[in-house]
Structure 1
Amino acid sequence: MVEVGHHALNISRAARPRRRRPDGAGRAGETAGMLGRSAPFGELYRPDGTVNGVRKDALLDAAEAVLFEQGTQALTLAAVADRAGVSKGGLLYHFPTKEALVTALVARVIGEFDALIDSFDDGSPGGYSRAYVRATFAILTGEARAHRRWSAITAAATDPELAAPLNEAMARWHGRVREDDPDPLTGAVVRLAAEGLWEVVGHAPDLYDADQLEALQRRLLELLER
């Protein structure tokens, strides 16, 4: 069972052991090696990180859209390439396996949220919890980003190795307590409330309008000032 946010994900694994590379590199080594290969015939790799003008982020956006609209079973490399409007070879240049694609989805969710927290944290007492709230609402009110973590969780749920970075990030985000926090318990309650809101909006994106989200953010920040 893998814990991700408010979910307990039951994951059935095959009874037989997973084969490992003799050098112990495992999936990470295989992915790194495949990513280093030359571009497929007919595909132009560009210095700005694009293949035929398509950036990695656009491919990840396409994968998220497939997941959100059609579910986990529909997430295939062919479906993502079709959604992104690129050849399968162009997609394979960046993401040679579905596991590599899901790993990138998870990494983007974590990296984006870490960067937002850092951008809002002014270092003052209680600043981390305020930054957590503001970062959460920046995502909830952003352009089609509210479902990113939901998509990443859904995609990673079938493999504990893929879900591990999300579990570790969740423990870090909610286990972080600064010595100068004037009220750690209230801070934890507010962060968990923001977490719950993110979870709900991930499943029901149209539940709250912009004014309601603004009011919710204001109330959570007020709780931190009491």
Structure 2
Amino acid sequence: MSTAEKTRTRIRASAQALVAEHGAGNLTLDSVAQHAGVSKGGLLYHYANKQALLEAMLEDLLSTRKALFLSSTAKQGRSAQLTALINTEFALTLTERATANAILAGGAENPDLLDPAREYFSMLFDYLVKEASDPALGTTVVLAVQGMQLLDTLGLYQFEPAEKDRLQQRLLALVS
């Protein structure tokens, strides 16, 4: 990994930590630069503005999920994709949830910010329609997991850990 990529990674990690600690509304480029140990000019060299930083943070969130989803079919079969999707979504950290919240807030001001998420979900639903052995089941699982995450991200309903465990086990049983 190049020095520039290490710096970009440190900047994104700092932004994620600040969002998790102080909330999406309090994220500033000045605070990210200070937390990351770079000058504001150095931050702007890597990310021209707050939107560019949020876009990179969204790419981080989606890249792991997309890679896991795409690789699981090739390695283990189609039901493995839904299993991987369920397990990955239920394993979101507080930092990842806070990052998602920041990105949703940014998307309210600039809907283009959510384009990578639109692409991810298009890929996911295209797969379910064209490749899944039971497209309706796959769609139901994705909607259940994403609906739960959205409620949690927006703070509309917080599932207790035991309740989340039961839901995860039920969804896994549905796809096996």
TM bin (shorter chain): 0.7 to 0.9
Contact 1:117 1:135 in 2 (8 A): no
Q: Aligned-pair distance for 1:194?
A: 0.8
Which residue number in structure 1 is paired with residue 35 of structure 2?
83
Q: Return closer, same or farther for 1:213/1:80 CA change in 2, 3 Å cut-off.
A: same
Identity over the aligned pairs, expressed in percent?
Answer: 27
- In structure 2, relative to structure 1, the CA distance for the partners of 1:137 and 1:118 (3 Å cut) is farther
**What TM-score do you get using the length of structure 1 for normalisation?**
0.63
More strand by share: 1
Is residue 49–residue 56 contact of structure 1 (8 Å, CA) maintained in 2?
Answer: yes
Change in 2 beyond 3 A, CA 1:80/1:165 = same
Instruction: Look at both structures and tell me which one has the larger radius of gyration over its CA atoms.
Output: 1
Aligned to 2:50: 98
What is the CA distance between 1:180 and its match in structure 2? 5.5
Q: Is 1:117 aligned with 2:72?
A: no
Q: Secondary structure of 1:198's match?
A: helix
Closer/same/farther in 2, CA of residues 152 and 112 from structure 1, 3 Å limit:
farther
* CA distance in structure 2 between the aligned counterparts of 1:197 and 1:164, rounded to whole angstroms: 21
Structure 1: 5+ residue runs without aligned partners? 1-45
Quote the Cα distance in structure 2 between the aligned partners of 1:213 and 1:157: 28
- Match of residue 150 from structure 1: 101
* Of 60, 72, 81, the match for 1:128: 81
- Residue 199 of structure 1 is matched in structure 2 by 150
Query: Which structure is higher in helix share?
Result: 2
Q: Which residue of 1 aligns with 2:90?
A: 137
Q: Which residue pairs with 2:175 in the alignment?
A: 224
Aligned residue-pair number: 173
Select between 164-173 and 185-194 the one with higher mean Cα deviation.
164-173
Q: What RMSD, in angstroms, separates the aligned Cα atoms of the two structures?
A: 2.9
